[in-house]
Structure formats: C-alpha cells, structure tokens
Amino acid sequence: MIADAAGQQFQLMEASITDIHNAIQSGKLTCRSLVQQYLDRIKAYDQHGPAINAMLYVNPKALGQAEAMDRAFKRGAELKPLQCIPLVLKDNFDTADMPTTGGSLALKGMQPAKDAFTVARFRQAGALILGKTNLHELALAGVTASSLGGQTKNPYELTRTPGGSSGGTGAAVAANFATVGTGSDTVNSIRSPSSANSLVGLRPTRGLISRGGVIPVSFTQDAVGPITRTVADAAVMLDVMAGYDPEDPVTASGVGKISSSYTAFLDRNGLKGARIGVLRTLFGSSPDNQEVNRVIASALDVLRTQGAILEETSDRAFDSGMLASDLDVQKWEYKHDLDNYLKAQPNPPVHSLAELIATGKYHKPSLEKFLASSEAQPNGLHERDYKQRRVKIDDLRVRLANALAKNNLVALVYPHQKRLPVMIGDMNQAERNGILASLTGFPAITVPAGFSTPTASAPIGVPVGIEFLGQPFSEPQLLKIAFSFEQATHVRKPPQSTPPLSSR
C-alpha cells in the first residue's frame, strides 16, 4: 500500500475501476496520486528490474491531466464511467496527442490527426490515457516483438513471450502498470495475451465496436476490445467502446443490438442451468498439451459445480489448424487495408506497404515472408482463392451458429491455447484457437483458468486461459457465465516479478 496526498492508504495492486472510484469518492485517493503510483511502477519494472519492456510511449502530460481531473472533481464534476482510470492503448490505436507506430521503425514518429473512434470514447468517458504499449509489429504475429520496441517479456516467466500481438498491453495490465488496456484481434491477438497473462480479454461480435482509427490487418477478421484483470472491468469498458461509427460501416449491424449496460449481466449465479458445449476439437493430445489440459479439466469441474450443463461436442470443421491454412484471408486484404490507412494519415513516413518494405525497417524474422506475400497480391480482393475463402467463411458461420442452436447451447468452451506460451526467440505462438471466432465474427471471451506447475523460473506457474464463444451479439450471456466462473474460482494472481513498491 502507498500513501496519497491526504495521507490515507490505497491498495494499488489489482485495483479495479470500482475500487478506484470508491477511493476517489471517499477522499482516500486523488487522481494525481493514482497516476503517479502507476508511473512509479513503470519506472521501476518496465526498463529496470525484470525489464518487462511493455511500454512504447508514456504520456508526458499524464500528471497534468490527472491534476485537472482532481480540480474538476472538487468543483463537483460528475464521476464518468472511466473517470481518472489510467488506461494503456496498444500502439495501433490512433491518438492525436501521441505517436501511433504499430511498433515499426518504418512508422516511427507517425502522428495521426485525430483519435481513433474508441479512443475518443474513452476520453469522453473520463479515461486518462497513460501511454502506448508494444505489440507484435503491425499486429501481424503472436510473440510481441517489434523493430521499434524490441521483445516484451511475460512477467510470469521472463523467458517466455507474453503472447501477442497485444502482448504489451497484456504484460502491462498483468504487472499493474495501468488499470485496464486495449487490444486488437485479427486471429488471436486480444485473447492470446489475456490467456498468457492471467487476464480477461473480450473479442466482440463483428460490428459491435468500431475499428476506425486502428492500423488495420484484415477488414474481414479485425476486431478491437478490452484487456482487463476482471470481467467487471471488461463490462465497463464494453459499455464505453460499443457503438455505431460511420467510418466503420460494419458497425451498422450492431445498431439496436447494443445493451444499455453490459455490467447489468454480472451474475454470480450465471452458470446455473447454462448449457455449454465442450468443443473437444480444440483440445490437444500431445505431451506439450498436458499442462493446459490439466488446468482446463479442473475449470470444467468448476463449471459443473456451479450448475452448468456441459455437453461434449466435436467437429473437424472447427479445427484451428485447418481453419488457419484454408480460410484465413489476411494475406489478400492486408495491402489494400494498410495502403488505405496510410493514405488517410496527414504526413506518414511511408505511404504504402511497398514503401514500408523498401525501408527494411521492420521485424524481418517474423514479418518478411508475410509482407512479401501480401505485396505480391496486387489484385488481392479479386483473386479466385480469396473469393473462395470468403464463401467458405460464410458457410463456417452457418455451421457454427447451427452447432450452438441445434444443441441449445449458450456457448462453446475450450482452451484458448493448447500449450503454454512459447519461449522468447520462437517466432511461432503455436496451437492457438482464436481463429474460429475471428473468421466467423462471433464473440469470445478468455478468462483466467489457472496456472501450470510452478518451476524455478515460473514461481507461481504460467497462466492458462479458458475461452467461451457464443452467438453473435451474445456478449451479455458470455459476460454472465464468465463472471460466474471468475467469482467461483478467483484464480488470477499478479506476477511475482513486479511486486508492490514500498510505501513512500
């Protein structure tokens, strides 16, 4: 615990949005004190000590903005949903007051003219943007290494990756560098770092949250969403983020389908009577999968104990490896999407994918093959293979919806990753299961399920996440069952590599 200016005590570690708002309203905490405490942790642990290397950019105006919020609160200003909540953004979210680089040396210093749609909503809701986090460069792979930011470490085992591509946000939120954060997800990238860092990651239904102002990868597969330590905080974030944006026309499909408040569905008894399908297709059977399978087996026992009705199910059409090889469309859409994004920037360092490649300033070990392949698709959206994949994706959506409906299931459940996060140096975060949601656009939420067996280098083990997937716009039901599971288990623990700082 650390003292604020009023001499009171506030427990920063693992503090939720509600904890912070209660402390501010009671006079036990000021916004400036809160921000300073997070900045102190970043200073102590991001580039020093364990050197997590999660932050690409720290907002130099954060303390001044916090002081302004304190003055406004003293004048009687309302406490907005994210008032004075220190938030970190994955550095592919446009910010008008901070660079947006995608972690790429080729885009170093790029300054957007305006905030992303969701960033503007955060500010309207009172959030304080503490900084930008590292990511796997341009959000194109899963181990969070970039030419601008280097390699981010997993705070639970410093020799492992934090997942990706939103691994900087995952590591930062897990290490209590901020209260909440954002990620983007083209295949796994919100839920992979959530699984790897004992966090909650929500990939929303396609069309629920705008992708406007976020460096794109694939207009078919991209989504953005919250990364938090609790399900309740994810619900608060979703309340702020969801909405129609004409700059992302897909959000028109969400009109009339957005809940007035997602926090209203946080029910401790939400698992009672819930019919959930255990999707065995997405479980591994090799020795590398056994630690994850052990944790997930225990989690399934909890679901049963809490009253869920589990139905065993399998379908080879949902195999994640097959889906990645046969249906993924990133390669065909990337050049089109990135070029259009760069054209909309006021003074970008490069103006196209071709120019970016020509600089040579990108993380070649992980990106060179993909970038070259995408650049080699000048008519990508008109290629026969691409069009066939889009037809197959439509078929997959129908098949998945029917798998839920015919068995009267509210969700499917499976491990987000079949094995633990890979060691630093490996460029392939193998055996992740996120692609089923990303291709279909169905919502999925990953929640902490437990930890692997502790070792000398992972003193409390490595986190394992469990994932629930539901029908389009079923976020209320997913939050309900995820919250019930979380409250029955309380398995999240902060990493030992970034302990509380001493009182000052």
For 280-320, what is each residue's pLDDT tens digit? 999 999 999 999 999 999 999 999 999 999 999 999 999 99
Asked whether the predicted pLDDT for residue 3 surpasses 60, the reply is no
In a domain, 504, yes or no: no
Neighbours of 344 (CB within 10 A): 12
Asked whether the predicted pLDDT for residue 114 surpasses 90, the reply is yes
Pairwise CA distance, residues 68 & 70, whole Å? 5
- Cα dihedral: 438, 442, 445, 450 (round 10): -70
One DSSP character per residue, 10-75 reads: E--TT--HHHHHHHHHTTS--HHHHHHHHHHHHHHHTSSTT----EEEE-TTHHHHHHHHHHHHHT
In a domain, 497, yes or no: no
One DSSP character per residue, 343-363 reads: HTSSS-S-SSHHHHHHHT-S-
* SS3 label, residue 172: helix
Span 409-424, average pLDDT = 98
Q: Of all residues in the chain, what percent carry a pLDDT higher than 90?
A: 97
Q: What tokens appear for 352 in the block?
A: 């196209």
pTM for this prediction: 0.97
In a domain, 170, yes or no: yes
SS in 3 state form for 366-419? HHHHHHHHHHCCCCHHHCHHHHHHHHHHHHHHHHHHHHHHHCCCCEEEEECECC
195 as an active site residue: the answer is no
259 as an active site residue: the answer is no
pLDDT tier at 504 (50, 70, 90 boundaries)? very low
How far lies 99's CA from each of 23, 82, 133, 355, 415, in Å? 32, 23, 11, 19, 35
Residues contacting residue 472 through CB under 8 Å, at least 6 positions apart: 205, 206, 401, 441, 442, 443
In terms of residues, how long is the chain?
Answer: 504
pLDDT tier at 8 (50, 70, 90 boundaries)? low
Given this model, what pLDDT does residue 223 score? 98
Pairwise CA distance, residues 410 & 474, whole Å? 8
Q: What tokens appear for 319 in the block?
A: 């195999």
pLDDT in tens, 267-290: 999 999 999 999 999 999 999 999
In a domain, 75, yes or no: yes
The active-site residue, picked from 33, 90, 438, 497, is: 90
In a domain, 288, yes or no: yes
- Helices and strands, counts by H and E, the chain: 15, 15
Pairwise CA distance, residues 21 & 31, whole Å? 10
In a domain, 503, yes or no: no
Asked whether the predicted pLDDT for residue 487 surpasses 80, the reply is yes
- Cα dihedral: 266, 267, 271, 272 (round 10): -160
Nearest to 121 by CA among 101, 93, 99, 102: 93
pLDDT in tens, 20-78: 999 999 999 999 999 999 999 999 999 999 999 999 999 999 999 999 999 999 999 99
Given this model, what pLDDT does residue 370 score? 98
pLDDT in tens, 454-486: 999 999 999 999 999 999 999 999 999 999 999
pLDDT in tens, 148-189: 999 999 999 999 999 999 999 999 999 999 999 999 999 999
One DSSP character per residue, 268-317 reads: TTTTTT-EEEEEGGG---SGGGHHHHHHHHHHHHHHHHTT-EEEEE--GG
Pairwise CA distance, residues 337 & 333, whole Å? 6
90 as an active site residue: the answer is yes
Neighbours of 349 (CB within 10 A): 18
Q: Which domain holds residue 439?
A: 2-489
The active-site residue, picked from 146, 166, 189, 195, is: 189
Query: How many structural domains are present in the chain?
Result: 1
The pairing of strands 200-203 and 180-185 is unpaired
pLDDT in tens, 355-383: 999 999 999 999 999 999 999 988 889 99
In a domain, 139, yes or no: yes
CATH number where 340 lies: 3.90.1300.10
In a domain, 494, yes or no: no
How far lies 86's CA from each of 73, 127, 158, in Å? 16, 6, 25
pLDDT in tens, 96-110: 999 999 999 999 999
| Location of structure tokens 């200016």 | 5
CB 233 within 8 A of CB 198: no
457 preceded by cis ω (within 30°)? Answer: no
Mean pLDDT of all residues belonging to the chain? 97
The active-site residue, picked from 33, 165, 166, 452, is: 165
Q: Helix 475-489 and helix 231-241: axis angle, to 10°?
A: 160
* SS3 label, residue 233: helix
